[in-house]
Homo-oligomer: A and B are copies of this chain.
Amino acid sequence: MHPVLVGREWRPANAVGEFSAHDPNTGESLDEKFPISDWVDCDLALTASAAAAEELDLTPPDSIAEFLESYAQKIDDAAQDLSELASRETGLPVSPRLLEVEVPRTNGQLRQAAAAARSGVWREPVHDESSDLHTCYGPLGPVMIFGPNNFPFAFNAISGGDFAAAIAAGNPVIAKAHPDHPGTTRMLAELAHAAASEAGLPDATVQLLYGMGPDDGLRMVGDQRLSAISFTGSRPSGMKLKAAAEAGGVLAYLEMSSVNPVFFLPGALREEGSKLAQELAGSCLLGTGQFCTCPNLCVLVAGDDCDHWLSEVSTAMADREPGVLLSIATLRSLERSVAALAAAGASVVTGGARLDAPGYRYQNTLLSCTGETFLASPSALQSEAFGPATLAVVAADEEQAVSIARAIEGSLTACIYSATDGSDDQLSSSLMTVLRRKAGRLLNDKMPTGVAVSPAMNHGGPFPATGHPGFTAVGMPAAIRRFAKLDCYDAVRPERLPACLRTPA
């Protein structure tokens, strides 16, 4: 059984159990065993993290930046091995997905975080000389990160965007490995631990646990030694962690679920319906539909072309080779979600069943319902079907399309496709006003599945998509602000100010 990374070193776990990952292509268990820790490990990690936080306050930002950069380099150097292992554990293809797309994205995030740590751009100093007040952001404190299963590198608890952002602001991280890819996470943690030691960071700046019992997990996230948790995953798990963390005054940054509505207005379908049917199918099935920004809901307005267009989408989805899902849990959850959508009144247009093949596979699935049906059960009909499935809602008219928009819960994205000839402009304008409140990112004439790592990106949105619509999880330096505390210095003697405040603007 693999050791855990707690305190200054890898050490045997105080385990209450063990688990292994599975190969999604076959459903077979992989060989390596990973521990489920008991409270002793959790407690040690929390204490070590609190001590590391104080030491990190006295650590030069250059050392933090060097760590992030050398860690990125180590990931580059090990990219082939990492991608092969991650592919075994997740079923995601090595090439181009893991090796050429996700590894560079991950390293880009780490390097952008390094640049932000070095420049201090995230500190945003504000001076009021006349009142002798000086304010900046400073490190928040220990952060515990729960990464998702769908991006084993770019959102991994020990290498992803949350990790990079938390470290950039000088916070220690306790990473909780996702049980679907513990081996990948272990390999990353080895690299991170080596890089942290070489950069002279305090012991316990980076720690790793593979799992803990549910009670210990909830106890841990509400512990006063933590300052924040960051979670990406399912809504039920997220809501439990949120309640436990917030009861203890620990900040909970969560990315939980999102249906990412796409509105296809009548003029747009008239102008280029066939092209849009292909675009929708492609976006829905990207990564076997296992993207947080996958369009799980699309809305159109009833009309002559509507049925024809839906049949085009259906054909486009059925024609594409079904992919493999990340885990048996993902497969079962998708089965439950499609059944729940059907129970609430949606009809299956294509797909809708598990594939008779080895491993975790499900048909590419399109469902549909009327706007009236949707508005009768808006909550049930927008439960996220994570995987290759989407629900098309056919509004009776434009007014109903706006009512549907109003009934949509908080989402990461919302998109409007409209005509170039101005015929959709009035409806588009009404929808923009409603959808701005519903989503973190509004798109026009473009699918939501691409998430650029840019300072102007917002990967966030209103509840229940995330826990706070004022923050983004992607894009430096903005993503760092989640892990920063506002520090005001009032008549503090100049030599005691942090370096970033010593030279007034």
User: Smallest CB-CB separation from A139: which chain B residue?
Assistant: B437
**Contact yes or no, B140 A490, CB < 8 A:** no
Known: A243-B247, A457-B135, A487-B458. A496 touches B444 (CB 8 A): yes
Chain B contacts for A489, CB-based, 8 A: 441-442
A358 an interface residue at 8 Å Cβ cutoff? no
**A45 CA to B445 CA, complexed, in Å:** 37
**Contact yes or no, B442 A487, CB < 8 A:** yes
Query: Out of B138, B242, B488, B496, which one reaches A429, CB within 8 Å?
Result: B496
User: Smallest CB-CB separation from A243: which chain B residue?
Assistant: B247
CB distance from A414 to the nearest CB of B (A): 10
Known: A452-B133, A496-B429. A440 touches B487 (CB 8 A): yes
Chain B contacts for A312, CB-based, 8 A: none
**Contact yes or no, B470 A436, CB < 8 A:** no
Stretch from A123-131, A281-289, A303-311, A363-371 at the B interface: A123-131
Q: Most chain-B Cβ atoms within 10 A of its Cβ — which of A250, A413, A462, A467? A: A462
What is the size category of the interface that chain A forms with chain B? Answer: 35 or more
CB distance from A293 to the nearest CB of B (A): 10
Chain B contacts for A443, CB-based, 8 A: 490-492
**Contact yes or no, A58 B433, CB < 8 A:** yes
**Contact yes or no, A433 B490, CB < 8 A:** no
CB distance from A203 to the nearest CB of B (A): 17
**Contact yes or no, B128 A456, CB < 8 A:** yes
**Contact yes or no, B440 A131, CB < 8 A:** no
Number of copies of chain A assembled together: 2
User: Smallest CB-CB separation from A462: which chain B residue?
Assistant: B485
User: Smallest CB-CB separation from A57: which chain B residue?
Assistant: B433
**Contact yes or no, B496 A437, CB < 8 A:** no
User: Smallest CB-CB separation from A239: which chain B residue?
Assistant: B247
**Contact yes or no, A141 B249, CB < 8 A:** no
Interface string of A477-505 (1 = CB under 8 A from B): 01001101111111111001000000000
CB distance from A50 to the nearest CB of B (A): 9
A454 an interface residue at 8 Å Cβ cutoff? yes
A151 an interface residue at 8 Å Cβ cutoff? no
A54 an interface residue at 8 Å Cβ cutoff? yes
**Contact yes or no, A491 B446, CB < 8 A:** yes
12 contacts between A and B (CB under 8 A): A126-B478, A138-B436, A227-B469, A249-B410, A413-B490, A437-B485, A440-B485, A442-B487, A444-B490, A458-B488, A460-B486, A472-B488
Known: A135-B478, A443-B491. 12 other contacts (CB 8 A): A54-B437, A133-B457, A141-B462, A243-B247, A249-B462, A249-B463, A440-B488, A444-B493, A446-B490, A446-B491, A470-B481, A472-B486
Binding site for B on A (CB under 8 A): 53-54, 57-58, 126-128, 131, 133-135, 137-138, 140-141, 227, 242-243, 246-247, 249-251, 410, 413, 428-429, 432-434, 436-437, 440-446, 448, 452, 454-458, 460, 462-464, 467-472, 478, 481-482, 484-493, 496
